[in-house]
Structure 1
Amino acid sequence: MKNLLQQYKPFLLFLGKFFLSYLILTILYQSYLNQFDVKNAEVDGFTKSVAEQTEWVLSLIDNHSYTTKHLTEPSIKLFYKNKYISRVIEGCNGLSVMILFVAFVIAFSGKFKNTLLFLLFGIVIIHVLNVSRIALLSMALYFYPQFEHFLHGVLFPLIIYGVVFVLWVIWVNNYSSYASVSKKI
């Protein structure tokens, strides 16, 4: 048994770090969300910020783009060309994707400075990509509402998770402690 544990130690350490960091970050995020009254349609600050940033991006293209608070749901209504296109809810803010990204990088952590810098870089990339995703999705839904399921449920998640996967590959191959070991071999 001891031999098996020793043999799979790197994998078990990865799993332990990943699940522990994911659990801690998820609990912290849930604590943050619990501060807001969903029954009274209260939206968390980060989701509001994402909606406002999306509004700003859309307003660069069309000055008839704006957001308003949804009166009966915890969401922000997004208008493009004066037409109600979509709503930005907590699940749209990208934080759950960021948590997953952070947990993976921590699980394959490298030097502290490299890890911290890559985490900051990745979170910024994910955030910018997410705001762009919502803006592009809103424009696409304006012109092609019949493709809502494909655009919202397939194409845009594929893009954002694809970029996260590429970031993970870059991290593991270039900056993690695993990369430094494999370069020596």
Structure 2
Amino acid sequence: MERLKPYYPVFKFVIVFGVLYILLSLAYYGYLQLEYTDYNYPDPITAAVSRQTQTILQWMGYDAQIYNAPGNPSVMLFIDDKIVFRVIEGCNAVSVMLLFAAFVIAFAKAYKKTIFFLFIGFVLIYLVNLARLISLALVYTRLPEYQTIAHDIAFPAIIYGTVILLWIYWIRKPKKA
């Protein structure tokens, strides 16, 4: 047992991270089980990111519209009356934020700095995800031959890459001189 003592901080991190991620995921699952109005369907966060995607595309000059998908917990995005894609719960980046939060909290020392960093991280992840949805809409409409690469490889790499860079920054926080 004595030989494992140097690894206790690693074990503690893994246990705290795992327990936090499971608890946060269960809480989010409970949130998704609630019934929402037609306006906030399938859930308020997915509805908000869908509306914001539509608004930004409209600002960019596209005839973008969103409609709730009947019978599916998703929002359909149309450009020029043609369906581009469906925005599902997984497109709102909350599960990515939960993974980010579990890691940051498991590595936390000071609570004020942790809360501030979580806030900054959530905002950045949300904005990167919003840019991802807008970019995907553009790829789907202008470069449809790259849909699969963009959706399955490039944009997940960007959003998870952002999270990894935030984690690295959190671990190696610059010290004030």
**TM-score scaled by structure 1?**
0.88
* Equivalent position of 1:118 in the other structure: 117
SS of alignment partner, residue 171 of structure 2: helix
1:130 and 2:129 matched? yes
Question: Which aligned segments of 4 or more residues in structure 1 are displaced greater than 4 angstroms?
Answer: none
* Equivalent position of 1:58 in the other structure: 57
* Aligned ranges 1:10-159 → 2 under 5 Å: 10-36=9-35, 43-159=42-158
Which letter does structure 2 place at the counterpart of 1:152?
A: H
Q: 1:62·1:81 contact (CA, 8 Å) conserved in 2? A: no
Which letter does structure 2 place at the counterpart of 1:10?
A: P
1:7 and 2:41 matched? no
Which letter does structure 2 place at the counterpart of 1:24?
A: L
Unaligned runs of 5+ in 2: none
SS of alignment partner, residue 66 of structure 1: strand
| Deviation of the 1:36 alpha carbon | 3.5
Aligned mates of 1:4, 1:119 — CA distance in 2: 35
Which letter does structure 2 place at the counterpart of 1:71?
A: P
SS of alignment partner, residue 62 of structure 1: coil
Q: 1:62·1:80 contact (CA, 8 Å) conserved in 2? A: no
Aligned mates of 2:81, 2:60 — CA distance in 1: 13
**TM-score scaled by structure 2?**
0.91
* Equivalent position of 1:171 in the other structure: 170
Aligned mates of 1:155, 1:46 — CA distance in 2: 23
Which letter does structure 1 place at the counterpart of 2:69?
A: H
SS of alignment partner, residue 68 of structure 1: strand
Report sequence identity in percent. Answer: 36
Aligned mates of 2:62, 2:138 — CA distance in 1: 13
Evaluate the alpha carbon distance shift between residue 118 and residue 98 of structure 1 in structure 2; reply closer, same or farther with a 3 A threshold.
Answer: same
SS of alignment partner, residue 172 of structure 2: helix
Structure possessing the higher relative contact order (Cα contacts under 8 Å, 6 or more residues apart): 1
Unaligned runs of 5+ in 1: none
Please tell me the root mean square deviation across aligned C-alpha atoms, in Å.
1.8
* Equivalent position of 1:161 in the other structure: 160
Aligned mates of 1:5, 1:80 — CA distance in 2: 58
Aligned mates of 2:162, 2:134 — CA distance in 1: 17
| Deviation of the 1:63 alpha carbon | 4.5
Which letter does structure 2 place at the counterpart of 1:144?
A: L
| Deviation of the 1:44 alpha carbon | 1.2
